[in-house]
Amino acid sequence: MDYRITAAERASYKRCRRLWDFGSSHRRNLEPVQTPPVDVAAAIRDALAVYYYPGMWDWQSGIVLPLVRKAFMRSIAGQPSSPQRTVNVDVGTALLERYLEWAPSLDDFGPIRIDHEVEALVPHPGEPGRGLHLPDGRRIVYTDRVDLLAIDVYDVYWVVRHQVVTAWQDIRSLLLDEESVAACWAWEDTYIGMDVAGTIHNEILIGADYGAPPAGTLTGRAGRGGYPQHEGSGGGRNVAQHQRQYGRPPEPEGVGRVEQQTSGMIRRTRIRRTREEIAGMGTLIAAEALEMLDPAVAVYPSPGAHCTACAFDVPCLTISEGEDPALDLAARYRTRPVGLPPKARLGATGGSRGGVVPPGS
């Protein structure tokens, strides 16, 4: 079995090594005993996986939208109960409804894959063309789940990230979003020869009310907008095995690196990533993997604004005060159970046509 470094584990390692040490499946593998709040952002992503499901992108809104709402409620129902469950469900429901109203005024792409897992062999820093392996021969791989792979009118591929936010993110933080760039690198490693132009950050703002959405769609297509499945340009979504594009097509003239559009409570930031930026991510992940695998790796906290929401704040403070956290760990945490692999979606494994059973039905 491969040694898997997930995007979430890498993020925790870079944010705070003490957080990583407590929570990583390769370290202490702990989770809080107390039930966490309902994850509205995860439920929104599950709903949007149905909204952008390739196999029913051409279907009428009257058929699709009830399935989208059903997917949201199913995702919420599948999470543990919490004291704020009702409030969070109300917030998430209102947010989803506003998204369904405003998204057609921004969608200018067609969906290729949704909620798709990518797996890339971590390269060996000293031996180009060879991957990293453990002493027992197991491969070291980096894994992530891509919310959406989209294709635009120029037949260019984009990695799309759905992000529920309480305030618009600074453009610099989006430019430096390593996890999104790593997803581009992992996608290209998974599908050799299939270049990704860059990332689209689909920010969804909580608590905003901008009145009535625009009457039309950005592309002029009725219903949900975007580009339909049957179009040859800006589509290619009927090609199930990613054989439409090999290599990167010429960039449209006069297009800058960053394009940003806002409509109501949705903001789309499209960032073109350079070849060096994407390829360099493999080298960076390799260096981090070697650090994580080092038995003598230094484990220390990185205090910051994220500490207020950290699940391990109590034992972290105990350690910082020079005390033994054993009692805190025994009372508040447990070993995380081995989870089942996520259920595959039809749109995650191939571009389906009409007549299939859509996800969330």
In whole angstroms, what is the distance from residue 287 CA to residue 302 CA?
A: 19
Q: Side chain identity at 115, as an amino acid letter?
A: D
pLDDT, residue 226, reads 87
Q: Is 26 in contact with 288 (CB distance < 8 Å)?
A: no
pLDDT band at 88 (very low <50, low <70, confident <90, very high): confident
pLDDT, mean over the chain? 88
In whole angstroms, what is the distance from residue 146 CA to residue 57 CA?
A: 18
Least confident piece of the model among 10-19, 311-320, 348-357: 348-357
**Is pLDDT at 342 greater than 60 in this prediction?**
no
Which has the closest alpha carbon to 50: 339, 341, 361? 361
Least confident piece of the model among 40-54, 155-169, 204-218: 204-218
Q: Side chain identity at 306, as an amino acid letter?
A: H
**Is pLDDT at 105 greater than 90 in this prediction?**
yes
Annotated domain spans of the chain:
3-295+338-349
Which has the closest alpha carbon to 270: 175, 193, 340, 187? 175
Q: What is the pLDDT of residues 245-300, one digit of tens each?
A: 444 445 567 678 999 999 999 999 999 999 999 999 999 999 999 999 999 999 99
Least confident piece of the model among 33-37, 113-117, 227-231, 354-358: 354-358
pLDDT, residue 255, reads 75
Q: Tokens for 7?
A: 């995007």
**Is pLDDT at 240 greater than 80 in this prediction?**
no
In whole angstroms, what is the distance from residue 360 CA to residue 55 CA?
A: 13
**Is pLDDT at 2 greater than 90 in this prediction?**
yes
Helix and strand numbers, DSSP H then E, in the chain: 11, 9
The alpha carbon of residue 168 and the mean position of all alpha carbons in its chain are separated, in whole angstroms, by 17
pLDDT, residue 339, reads 64
In Å, what is the CA distance from 348 to each residue of 49, 110, 358? 9, 14, 12
**Is pLDDT at 234 greater than 50 in this prediction?**
no
Bridge pairing between strands 140-151 and 3-6: parallel
pLDDT, residue 239, reads 37
